Every structure is written in structure tokens, then in C-alpha cells.
Amino acid sequence: MLATALFLAAAGWLFTGIDAELVPPEDTGVVEVRLNAPEGTGFAQLDAYVAKAEAQVEPMVGKGAVRGLVARLPANFGTSEDFNSASMNVFLKPWEDREKTSLAVAREVTATLAGLTATRGNATVRSSLGRGRGQPLNFVIAGSSYPALAVARDRILAAARDNPGIVNLDADYVESKPQLLIDVDTRRAGDLGVSVDDVSQALQTLMGSRRASTYVQDGEEYRVLVQAEAGGRDRVGRLSTVYVRSRTGELVPLANLVHTRDAASARELGRFNKMRAITFQGGLAPGYTLGRALAFMEDQARARPEVLAIGYHGESQAFRQTGGSIWLVFGLTIGIIYLLLAAQFESFVHPVVIIAAVPLAVAGGVVGLVATGMTINLFSQIGIVMLVGLAAKNGILIVEFANQLRDEGLSIADAIAQASVRRLRPILMTSIATVMGAVPLAISHGAGAGARSAIGIVIVFGVSIATAITMFVVPVLYNRLARRTRSPQAVGRELDAAMMPDQAVERRV
């Protein structure tokens, strides 16, 4: 029992120190690249940046694992006034036609794009779960005001630069988006008979764009957009070439009615739980897990008094939700199995002896993950839940047979001793069959091998270690705890003994 306690304590220490992530590295055949340009970049300039990025990656097409690439700008779907981000999908050849994995190609693409000066590119493997696409690290800090959060943001970014595991960390609240603010001189406009609405319409039409009408040709409807040519709206001085009509019908230069000034502000103002928030996005260096990155960000955020709350988005949110729900699922699984065993054995003590093997199996699975250098992820957690049933079967075989021997009149010590010896062969046969069935999963390779190997490693090590230890733990616990229980058929034998005199009298009559 002391050795078992020491083993569980060591496994618990390993579990607290083991890395965690949402899913193990997988090979989906698609690498996603996120390109970030400076704030205020226009569509034409972003198109030029994307062309340079494509020129860097295009030599990889057809010569190795890459079979093609597709770029999209801006990165987000829908209408947008910001063109400072773009995305690029790098499609890989089928697994059997290439030697490099998706993760290796993503690292190569990131290293290739490191030479770009105006943009930053970070490549990640597309997740098959459909969540958290893009940057894996999405961390949110919330507070009472954006200036206060900006102070915490700068300190967190400075600390992240010294962490080699976090790559290209950036925040969505950056006061660097250039803006040209136009103030209307309402007094002069009133003296000249020009309304503010006329000034607004002129600016929107010529400097922006306005839908004036539609026309139909060959069954197709086309929109008519009014806008000045690119050369007529590229500088502030062009405002002197724009005229508005006063009430008297005279044309007044727009430059005589407005004043311009430069300003800078954030591209967007985020919210989280009704509080002002700033979101951090970044990538992970090879070998650095998402759990370690989030733990680092949480420690940095809690050290800043300006941060009142923290949150997650995308893959980081899925990781936190999955990591918290596994313990609930694990507890419910043990509870349901305990109730089923209690109904089967008609006792609340015997299920405790059987379920005592479950922590040993979980500890064995954790030891296997540590020994193979794997992490706690979604698939290894599935394997840990499977161990609950696989580990309980050994105890069921021993306890069930020991109860049968007690019904035959044997003592508790003799019953558990004989049950352990006579059930050794079935336990070893079933355990070896389970382990051998999971070995192909543990040693699998190719596309999706990360998910299969995680489950296989947990089953192989968990069942093996649990079988070796429970052969000693279950008999000891049964010998200790079963003394508080009666033989399963003891009540039936007492009833038969009580009814036998009555039956004898009936036979004599």
C-alpha cells in the first residue's frame, strides 16, 4: 500500500508538470498563413505586400510537399474599412506523396516569411476541429478603461518578447491607425449659405463613394457608383478642387469651409463581458504548448492591477473549456460505474474495492505520456476516460469470484487468496489482448497519427501498469473492507435455515 501511495503521488506530481494543449500536432494537409501589415494600409498596398509574400512561398510549390497556395485579402470576410491583414492557405500533397509533415512545412513557411520587412507572417496547421482557426493564442484582458489597459498591454507585450515560446504576439488595440479628421467651419459655411449636409455629401461622394443609381443590361443589374478618380483624392490638397453649391447658386471651394488635422486611434474597440477589453493574438514556437503559453499570459495579466478580468477566444477558449470539462466527465463516469457495480453486487463496499484500480490506471497513462514526451490533450483525455472501464474489469473478475467462494463457506482471506490465483490467467489474457490491440494506435504514423498515438499510449501504459499493481491492491483492499460485508447469499441461507423446521413439520404431517 505504501508503494502504491508513492506511485500515485509521483504520478500526480508528473501530471501537474506535464504540458497541455487542445489537440496533438496533426497533419491536415493545409497550412494557414496570417499576414499582418501596418495600420492604415490601403487595399492596393496590401495587395503588393501579399504579392511579395507569395513570391517568397511560391518556389516551394511543386518541388516538395507543397502543391499550391491561395491568398485572400483582407483576411476577414465581409465589408471592411481596414486592409492591414491578409491570409494565405498553403495546400500540401497527399501524405503518401510527401515526406514532410504539415507542422514541418508550417515552420518552413514561417522562416521564409521572416525576411519580409513591411509585414509579419505566421503559419499554423489548420485544425480538424474547426475551432480556433488562425492564431492558436487568443488571450483577452478586460478593465475599466482603454488607456489603463494599454499600459498593461505594453507591459505584457514587453514580457512576451523575452519568452521564446510565443511568436509574433500582437494586440487588437493599437493607437496607430492614421486618421484624417475634417472639421467644418460652421460659421463660415453659414455665412456662405452652405449646409453641413452638403459638405458631408460632397466628401462622401468624391473622396469615398456613393451609390447613385442602377442600370440593367443584358438581364444583369449594375450599380452606378460616384467617386473621384484615384489621382483626385490621394492628397489633402485635392480638397481645393472640390466645390459645393451655396444657396445663391455660387460654387464654393470645399477647402474654404473645412480644416483638417491628423490623428491616430485604435482600429477597433473590443468588449468582453460588458467591459472594455484588449485581445492578444500570437503563434507558438516549435515544442511550446498552448497550455504553457496561456499560463504565462495569465501570470502576466494577474500581475497588472489594471486588468480586472481575463478571457479567451478561438482555440484558446476551446482548450480551456475542454480542460475543465474532462474532470466533470471523469467524475460522472466513475459515479455511474460505482452505481452500476453497487446494484450488481448489492453492496456499497465492493465497488470501492473495484474502483480503487482506476487511479492506478490513470497514473499509468500519465506516466506513459511523460515517458513518450506527449502532452495532455483532447485525445489523451479520451484515453484516460476509457481507462476507467478497462481498469475496473480486473477488480470485477477478482471480487466476483471471491464472493462466490465466500458463498461456498470459505473465509474472506481464503476466498480472496484463491480468487487472485484462479483469476490471474483470465486477467492477464484480457489485459494482454487490450494492450496488443492498442499497440498499433501507439506506434501509428502518417496523417492523423497524433490523435491515434495519444489514445494508444494512454491505453498501453495505463492497462499495463494498472494490471501489474491491482493484482496486489485489490486483494489487500478486499481483505480489509470485505470484513464489513456479509456473503452475498448469506441472507438467502438464513432464510432457508429458518424455513427448514417448518418444512420438516409439514412433511411429518
Query: What pLDDT is recorded for position 100?
Result: 80
16 and 65 both lie in a single domain: no
35 and 12 both lie in a single domain: no
172 within some domain: no
* Full-model pTM: 0.61
328 within some domain: yes
404 and 467 both lie in a single domain: yes
Query: What pLDDT is recorded for position 483?
Result: 77
Q: Answer left, alpha or beta for residue 256, where phi above 0 means left and psi between -120 and 50 means alpha.
A: alpha
CB environment 2-29: b (16+ within 10 A), e (fewer): eebeebeeebeeebeebbbbbbbbbbeb
Query: What pLDDT is recorded for position 26?
Result: 59
223 within some domain: yes
160 within some domain: no
Query: What pLDDT is recorded for position 397?
Result: 87
pLDDT of the chain, 509 residues: tens digit per residue: 544 554 445 445 444 445 556 556 556 678 888 888 887 787 888 888 888 888 888 888 887 788 888 888 777 655 556 777 888 888 888 877 787 877 788 888 888 888 888 788 878 777 655 444 457 888 999 998 888 998 999 999 999 988 888 887 888 887 777 777 888 888 888 888 888 888 888 888 887 788 888 988 888 888 888 888 877 777 777 777 888 888 888 888 888 888 888 877 777 788 888 899 999 988 887 778 788 888 899 999 999 989 999 998 877 887 777 766 677 777 888 888 888 888 888 788 888 888 887 888 888 888 888 888 777 777 777 888 888 888 888 888 888 888 888 888 788 888 888 988 888 898 889 889 988 988 888 887 766 666 778 888 888 898 888 888 888 888 888 888 887 776 666 666 666 767 765 554 444 44
120 and 184 both lie in a single domain: no
Per the CB < 8 A criterion, the answer to whether 424 and 418 are in contact is: no
Question: Could you count the other beta carbons within 10 Å of the beta carbon of residue 231?
Answer: 8
Query: Domain holding 239: CATH number?
Result: 3.30.2090.10
The torsion angles phi and psi of 158, rounded to 5 degrees, stand at -65, -40
503 within some domain: no
166 within some domain: no
324 and 464 both lie in a single domain: yes
C-alpha cell of residue 145: 478603461
115 within some domain: yes
Q: Residue type at 356?
A: A
Query: What pLDDT is recorded for position 22?
Result: 56
325 and 424 both lie in a single domain: yes
Nearest partner of 350 among 480, 235, 437, 226, judged by Cα: 480
61 secondary structure, DSSP code: B
CA gap 162, 13 in Å, rounded? 28
CA gap 359, 443 in Å, rounded? 25
392 and 249 both lie in a single domain: no
On the question of a cis peptide bond just before residue 74, with omega within 30 degrees of 0, the verdict is yes
Query: What pLDDT is recorded for position 20?
Result: 58
Query: What pLDDT is recorded for position 84?
Result: 78
34 and 14 both lie in a single domain: no
376 secondary structure, DSSP code: B
The torsion angles phi and psi of 137, rounded to 5 degrees, stand at -95, 110
389 within some domain: yes
C-alpha cell of residue 7: 506511485
351 and 378 both lie in a single domain: yes
pLDDT tens sequence across 420-441: 888 889 888 988 998 898 888 8
Query: What pLDDT is recorded for position 508?
Result: 44
Number of domains in the chain: 3
CA gap 75, 69 in Å, rounded? 15
Element (H, E) at 380: helix 378-407
- Domain stop point among 264, 283, 308: 264
Query: Domain holding 335: CATH number?
Result: 1.20.1640.10
Domain of residue 328 covers 2-20+319-493
Query: What pLDDT is recorded for position 34?
Result: 83
Per the CB < 8 A criterion, the answer to whether 178 and 40 are in contact is: yes
Query: What pLDDT is recorded for position 131?
Result: 45
- Domain stop point among 264, 286, 305: 264
345 and 363 both lie in a single domain: yes
47 and 14 both lie in a single domain: no
235 and 194 both lie in a single domain: yes
- Cβ within 8 Å of residue 384, ≥6 positions away: 326, 330, 362, 365, 458, 462
Q: SS3 sequence, 208-243? A: HCEEEEEEEECCEEEEEEECCCHHHCCCHHHHHHCE
Query: What pLDDT is recorded for position 142?
Result: 92
